[in-house]
Amino acid sequence: MTELISIDGTASCRFAFGTMQFGDQADLAASRAMFDACIEAGITHFDTANLYTGGAAEQYLGQFIAPLRARLIIGTKIGYDAPDNVEALRSQFDMSRARLGLDSVDILYLHRFNPNLSLEAQIDLLAELQAQKQTRYLAVSNFAAWQVMKAQAIAINLGTKIDIVQPMYSLVKRQAEVEILPMCAAEGILAVTYSPLGGGLLTGKYAAGGTGRLSEDHRYGARYGLGWMHEAAAKLPEIADAVGVHPATLAVAWAASHSSRPAPILSARSLEQLRPSLDALSIKMSPEERDRLTALTPTPAPATDRIEEHG
């Protein structure tokens, strides 16, 4: 399994922090408070993207990381808009480096599979940037397993490899269990998983009548709009109360407890929102506890669709 090592040789914590809210729901002061809390908790892996909040997320992060750069892992993403030429991807990366104030980032992701440009050209660009020491780890986000392995074959032919994938994974979004996470375990690829709280659904606030991303953004409302998801989210606080922790703490700990050892990305709008997720860093979930939570949601069908053989 790929282990993330900082420039100064320090191994990264198994959790990351995502900056999607920096410069939007989190202003500069709130973003700084969350960054400092992550550092205090031992998180040194920070995730951002070229498109987050019009570039403000990268700018904020660039300000915060400057004095600590050598011991941090910084990842960003390019290509979400699926450009049809390599020059556009390169330009996005140059802009990201400028915003971050970095000559090199540790992880460079293709943000999603782009059908408008040959995958060979995209991986060739990543390999070239790696050879130029502008990035260290090559990565892809939101790729299907077959797309990851196609990218891996291209990378290996170029003398490098895909080190990291970034799929969605939570108690209410378990599709990664079918092929992505087994692929990672088999191929030694690190899964840096996002949305462990299901867009906030697993915090319990919606069951209590609260508002947030699911009620404000139609995309998230659709993503987490199935009835069984909300039923599971309503039951999670009961289990959390019984063990004396916040529902978000259990949700994050559950995502981290998969046998493939993924690295969940935590995120929040404020330090108050973030604290329950940070508490998950100190929880070691037993197999029995994981099974109890897993039973709240449907297990996705196996990749072969031979449901009768599902163990």
Report the C-alpha dihedral over residues 39, 45, 94, 87, rounded to 10 degrees. Answer: -160
- CA–CA separation, 233 vs 296, rounded Å? 9
Q: Is residue 89 part of a domain?
A: yes
- CA–CA separation, 310 vs 269, rounded Å? 39
Q: Of 193, 200, 169, whose CA–CA distance to 276 is shortest? A: 200
Q: Is residue 204 part of a domain?
A: no
- Maximum distance among all Cα pairs of the chain, rounded to whole angstroms: 55
Q: What is the CA radius of gyration of the chain?
A: 19
Q: Is residue 132 part of a domain?
A: yes
Q: Is residue 223 part of a domain?
A: no
Is there a contact between 255 and 294 (Cβ–Cβ < 8 Å)?
A: no
Is there a contact between 242 and 236 (Cβ–Cβ < 8 Å)?
A: no
Q: Is residue 29 part of a domain?
A: yes
Taking residue 222's Cβ as centre, other Cβ atoms within 10 Å add up to: 10
Q: pTM score > 0.85 for this model? A: yes
Q: Of 148, 106, 108, 151, whose CA–CA distance to 126 is shortest? A: 108
Q: Is residue 61 part of a domain?
A: yes
Q: pLDDT tens digits, residue range 104-126?
A: 999 999 999 999 999 999 999 99
Q: Is residue 194 part of a domain?
A: no
Q: pLDDT tens digits, residue range 188-229?
A: 999 999 999 999 999 988 877 777 788 888 898 899 999 999
Q: Which residues fall within 8 angstroms of residue 163, CB to CB, at 6 or more apart?
A: 2, 107, 137, 138, 139, 189, 190
Q: pLDDT tens digits, residue range 142-158?
A: 999 999 999 999 999 99
* 310 pLDDT above the threshold of 80: no
Q: Is residue 253 part of a domain?
A: no
Give the count of domains, the chain: 1
Domain range for residue 149?
A: 16-166
CATH number at residue 52: 3.20.20.100
